[in-house]
Chains A and B, each alone.
Chain A
Amino acid sequence: MIEERSNPQGHTRQPTVALFVTCLADLFRPSVAFASIKLLERAGCSVIVPTQQTCCGQPAYNSGDYEATTPLAKQVIAMLEPADYVVVPSGSCAGMICHHYPRLLEGEWQQRARDLATRTYELTTFLADIAPLPRSKVKTAALPPVTYHDSCAGLRELDIREQPRRLLREVCGIEVNEMQQTDVCCGFGGTFCAKMPEISAKMASDKVHNAVATGARILTGGDLGCLLNLAGRARRLGETIEVRHVAELLSGDLAVPAIGEGN
């Protein structure tokens, strides 16, 4: 549970939550960020969106360019530090801040990275465990059967598995149709999907087939990277399953076309 804070004048105030939008949501799917803001406000947080934010640096970092990532990581830390909490609608970007910044940086910056890591959460974890979302705010009838893709970074770096399922149950009143091999990667892997396209596509196809086999009409998840990959592959395979970020489901924003769908 989050606690109210007192400001320097001694007045209690709502805790501030800085939303780290992630570059993919910024560029491809602002609706994820708007849904996140809505959800956080509904959970009683005062949300700020630092306007200097861009990207957490994963593309360079994962490709081994630590040199180019380091100054970017410092910039992100300095920007996010003033908030009480940082919330990220992505397991892999939250994992980058929580696990990889401290690994990348040294000395004083490593300390600052560690401190920030203790206050940084992936969206569904935050809404499930830290600032519980009030139940039943969306019309449940509107949701067709849903299956959930666990992103690897969320699952293994941040232990996110049960949180989004709990939220979908409590907020939307639906049980997830579980697919086979939920713990296997979808083949996105950042630049991997472009460096090794055939292998990546095989992994994505397996995931899409497993998702379709559940009978779900919506494939959701907490990481836009995976979802763009899966939506793109599903379209190529001619599968019509809708792909949407879990924040959109939780906030009831189903009017926007699903990922990769036209309007």
Chain B
Amino acid sequence: MEMHSQAFLENAREALGDPEKTRRRGLLAAFTPMVRNAAMESFGKFEPLRQHLRRVRQHTLDNLDHYLDRFEQEALSNGNHVHFAMDGEEMNRIVLEICQRHSARRIAKGKSMVTEETGLSRHLQGAGLNVTETDLGEYIIQQAGEPPSHIVGPALHKSAAEVRDLFLARHDLGERELEETSQLVQEARGVLRQRFLEADVGIIGANALVAENGYSMLVTNEGNGDLCANLPPVLIVCTTLERILPRAEDATAMMRLLVRSATGQPHTCYTSFYSGPRREQDTDGPIETHFVLLDDKRTDILASDYREMLQCIRCGACLNHCPIYAAAGGHAYGAVYMGPMGSVLTPLLTSLEESHLLPNACTSCGRCAEVCPSGIPLPDLLRDLRQAEQAAKLSPPRWRTGLKLHAWLARHPRLYHGLTALGIPLLHRLGRRRGSFSKLPLAGGWTSQRDFPAPQRKTFMQAYAGVLKAEKKRRRHD
């Protein structure tokens, strides 16, 4: 697999070449929508809450400056440090500086897609720090040296057997039994406990920032976020500007949709709000806390026609419901974000030149938009990106001219009908016997995978003209 988006097709081909992994992706693609749908059905308030959240998020984005100011003030008065980073590099630098100021050696890190985006772990490790991913999925792929294949379940592509082999190779724990999944979890838990206790700095992400009180909210199922946040003396929360919401109640409302959309649970095992450093009366908690808020193109997206994308809450439902994601797998996208949301975000966060193929990985089936808890019209945004692709002349010239020619012909009915009335009967005669073609010039994209059904005897317009003529004749005779 090549880690760039323009290799999407080759990557997908490679992924489809592994029948066992393809089968497992298919099972997941059947299972995850079932769980989500069951959760939404018993919840019963999906649509009204989604509308409500959409309005809240739109309002927040319209007044982003105001809410960011408010958040900063509140967070500062809670005793936090607040940093703004224009791009990933700046975020990485700020975090490294904090670590170095505290002479940190060991970092316990929670799951955060933003730090995936900036490559934070690599950056810190490059500077000699020891970073442990503490989310089980992230830990597994860190051990395997792989990128996440899903924004919520980063190691969903790994089978239990693969994880077992990985643990046996990576954990120096001697002879032991690792047959059951529970044994794997136990082992990871034991290893990670130690890392939490040793850590000098904890780094976590955030699902929401609350403007009214300066808190950040995080949901996890493993509680690793809380350990990262509470055990080490220094806590750094890394997230992006658009996570902000006006009130705590907006954050909890969002959580009700987020968790059901992501895993089908009514709520995760842990939902935490982080306010700031340990106060005098507190018996535990970090001594120093930082927020690092990343912009990295968010304000550009805000000013663009794609601003709805900033409402994404990273639930992963669009991935779980995308048949193309299921077929190709998350790694095929060659990017941090994958599936429908990734195919919109990647070109916006990188450049159209680097990733214009991704918006084409869509049949406009609309299943993603149907389940998106943020009501983002993903297929429309993807089509708009294809428009940008073709306006920038990045799409293959053959397609571009072909489709233009087709649209032009369609506007000239006489010519269109004349030409098709010549071509179709010919095609019919050639394919009549077998009923379809296994090869056809100019249709290689189609016939590489499927037969090309032969047309009936004439075009409808030809046949219908005959019907009309016969009718006229009959009327004249009557």
Residues of chain A at the chain B interface (Cβ within 8 Å): 21, 23, 25-31, 33-34, 49, 51-55, 57, 59-66, 68-69, 71-72, 75, 103, 152-153, 156-157, 180-181, 183-185, 187-204, 206, 228-229, 231-233, 235-236, 256-257, 259-263
Query: Do the beta carbons of A152 and B365 come within 8 Å of each other?
Result: yes
Tell me the nearest residue of chain B to A181, going by C-beta: B30
Query: Do the beta carbons of A52 and B413 come within 8 Å of each other?
Result: yes
A70 to chain B, nearest CB (A): 9
Query: Do the beta carbons of A231 and B453 come within 8 Å of each other?
Result: yes
Say yes or no for B278: interface residue by CB 8 A criterion: no
Interface residues of B in 358-416 (CB under 8 A from A): 360-367, 369-370, 380, 383-391, 395, 399-400, 403-404, 406-411, 413, 416
Say yes or no for B445: interface residue by CB 8 A criterion: yes
Query: Using a Cβ–Cβ cut-off of 8 Å, how many residues does chain B contribute to the interface with A?
Result: 73
Query: Do the beta carbons of B453 and A200 come within 8 Å of each other?
Result: no
Q: For the complex, give the distance between the alpha carbons of A57 and B408 in Å.
A: 10
Which of chain B's residues have a CB closer than 8 A to the CB of A57?
Answer: 407, 410
Query: Do the beta carbons of B451 and A197 come within 8 Å of each other?
Result: no
Say yes or no for B63: interface residue by CB 8 A criterion: no
Q: For the complex, give the distance between the alpha carbons of A232 and B443 in Å.
A: 13
Provide a sorted-by-A list of 8 A–B residue pairs whose CB atoms are within 8 angstroms.
A64-B384, A152-B363, A152-B366, A152-B367, A199-B361, A202-B16, A206-B26, A228-B453
Which of chain A's residues have a CB closer than 8 A to the CB of B434?
Answer: 262
Given A34-B460, A60-B404, A203-B327, list of 11 further CB < 8 A pairs? A29-B456, A49-B464, A51-B464, A55-B410, A64-B383, A152-B364, A197-B449, A235-B436, A236-B438, A259-B453, A263-B432
Query: Do the beta carbons of B9 and A229 come within 8 Å of each other?
Result: no
Query: Do the beta carbons of B389 and A197 come within 8 Å of each other?
Result: no
Which of chain A's residues have a CB closer than 8 A to the CB of B411?
Answer: 54, 71-72, 75
Query: Do the beta carbons of A65 and B387 come within 8 Å of each other?
Result: yes
Quick one: which of A55, A103, A189, A232 contacts B362, CB cutoff 8 A? A189
Quick one: which of B433, B449, B463, B465 contacts A262, CB cutoff 8 A? B433
Query: Do the beta carbons of A156 and B370 come within 8 Å of each other?
Result: yes
A79 to chain B, nearest CB (A): 9
Query: Do the beta carbons of A233 and B450 come within 8 Å of each other?
Result: yes
Q: For the complex, give the distance between the alpha carbons of A195 and B416 in Å.
A: 24
Tell me the nearest residue of chain B to A30, going by C-beta: B460
Query: Do the beta carbons of A232 and B446 come within 8 Å of each other?
Result: yes
Given A64-B383, A64-B389, A66-B387, are A21 and B460 neighbors across the interface (CB < 8 Å)? yes
Which of chain B's residues have a CB closer than 8 A to the CB of A68?
Answer: 403-404, 407-408
Say yes or no for B84: interface residue by CB 8 A criterion: no
Query: Do the beta carbons of B323 and A27 come within 8 Å of each other?
Result: no
Nearest 4 CB-CB pairs, A to B? A189-B363, A194-B445, A64-B386, A262-B435
Which of chain B's residues have a CB closer than 8 A to the CB of A152?
Answer: 363-367
Given A194-B445, A202-B16, are A183 and B367 neighbors across the interface (CB < 8 Å)? yes
Tell me the nearest residue of chain B to A194, going by C-beta: B445
Which of chain B's residues have a CB closer than 8 A to the CB of A185?
Answer: 323, 363, 365, 367
Q: For the complex, give the distance between the alpha carbons of A259 and B446 in Å.
A: 16
Quick one: which of A27, A59, A157, A260 contacts B459, CB cutoff 8 A? A27
Query: Do the beta carbons of A59 and B407 come within 8 Å of each other?
Result: yes
Say yes or no for B424: interface residue by CB 8 A criterion: yes
Given A152-B366, A189-B364, are A31 and B456 neighbors across the interface (CB < 8 Å)? yes
Query: Do the beta carbons of B435 and A153 come within 8 Å of each other?
Result: no
Say yes or no for B420: interface residue by CB 8 A criterion: yes
Tell me the nearest residue of chain B to A22, going by C-beta: B460
Scoring A33, A68, A157 by chain B CB atoms within 10 A of each residue's CB, the highest score goes to A68
Say yes or no for B324: interface residue by CB 8 A criterion: yes
Complex interface bits, B456-478 against A, C-beta within 8 A gives 1, otherwise 0 = 10111101110000000000000
Q: For the complex, give the distance between the alpha carbons of A80 and B377 in Å.
A: 28
A109 to chain B, nearest CB (A): 15
Scoring A21, A26, A53, A181 by chain B CB atoms within 10 A of each residue's CB, the highest score goes to A26
Say yes or no for B221: interface residue by CB 8 A criterion: no
Say yes or no for B186: interface residue by CB 8 A criterion: no
B398 to chain A, nearest CB (A): 11
Q: For the complex, give the distance between the alpha carbons of A187 and B323 in Å.
A: 8
Q: For the complex, give the distance between the alpha carbons of A104 and B416 in Å.
A: 24
Q: For the complex, give the distance between the alpha carbons of A256 and B407 in Å.
A: 31
Say yes or no for B448: interface residue by CB 8 A criterion: yes
Given A59-B403, A64-B387, are A26 and B363 neighbors across the interface (CB < 8 Å)? no
Quick one: which of B16, B26, B449, B460 contacts A233, CB cutoff 8 A? B449
Quick one: which of A153, A232, A257 contacts B451, CB cutoff 8 A? A232
B432 to chain A, nearest CB (A): 6
Query: Do the beta carbons of B453 and A232 come within 8 Å of each other?
Result: yes
Say yes or no for B452: interface residue by CB 8 A criterion: yes
